[in-house]
Amino acid sequence: MALGIKRNSIIILTFSNFVIMAGFNVWRILFNNFAVETFDASATEVGIIQAVREVPGLLAFGVGALAIYFAESRISALSITIVGLGLLLCVFSPTLIVLSVATFVMSLGFHYFEPSNTSQLLMYANSGEFGRVQGKYKSFESMAGLTAGALVLVLALTFSYRQTFYIIGALVFLIGLYLVLALPPNRGRTEKRKIRPKKEYWLYYVLSFLRGCRRHIFTTFAIFLLVKNHELSIAVVTSIYLLNNFTTIFTFRLLGKISDRFGERTVLAGSSLLLIFVFTGYAYVEYLPLLIAFFVIDNTLFGSSIALKSYIRRISTLEDLTGCLSTGMTMNHITAIVIPIIGGLAWNLFGYQVTFIAGAIIVTVDLFFALKIPRKEKTPRTNPDRVLAK
What is the pLDDT, as a whole number, of residue 7?
A: 67
What is the pLDDT, as a whole number, of residue 360?
A: 93
Q: What CA–CA distance (Å, rounded) separates 285 from 282?
A: 6
Flag whether 230 is in a domain.
yes
Residues 6+ apart with CB under 8 A from 311: 204, 264, 268, 373
What is the pLDDT, as a whole number, of residue 390?
A: 35
Flag whether 381 is in a domain.
no
Q: Domain limits at 74?
A: 3-370
Flag whether 350 is in a domain.
yes
Flag whether 387 is in a domain.
no
Contact (CB, 8 A) for 205 and 197: yes
Q: What CA–CA distance (Å, rounded) separates 170 from 267?
A: 38
What is the pLDDT, as a whole number, of residue 203?
A: 94
Cβ atoms within 10 Å, residue 139: 21
Residue type, 299: N
What is the pLDDT, as a whole number, of residue 196?
A: 65
- Scored b (16 or more CB within 10 A) or e, 294-329 reads bbbbbbbbbbbbbbbbbbbbbbbebbbbbbbbbbbb
All residue ranges of the chain with pLDDT < 50 are 1-5, 190, 379-380, 382-390
What is the pLDDT, as a whole number, of residue 278?
A: 93
Using alpha carbons only, how large is the chain's radius of gyration in Å?
20
Flag whether 385 is in a domain.
no
SS3 333: coil
The DSSP secondary structure of 130-166, one letter per residue, reads HHHHHHHHHHHHHHHHHHHHHHHHHHHTTS-HHHHHH
What is the pLDDT, as a whole number, of residue 177?
A: 93
Flag whether 316 is in a domain.
yes
Flag whether 86 is in a domain.
yes
What is the pLDDT, as a whole number, of residue 350?
A: 86
CATH number of the domain that 125 lies in? 1.20.1250.20
Count up the domains in the chain and report the number.
1
Flag whether 207 is in a domain.
yes
What is the pLDDT, as a whole number, of residue 385?
A: 42
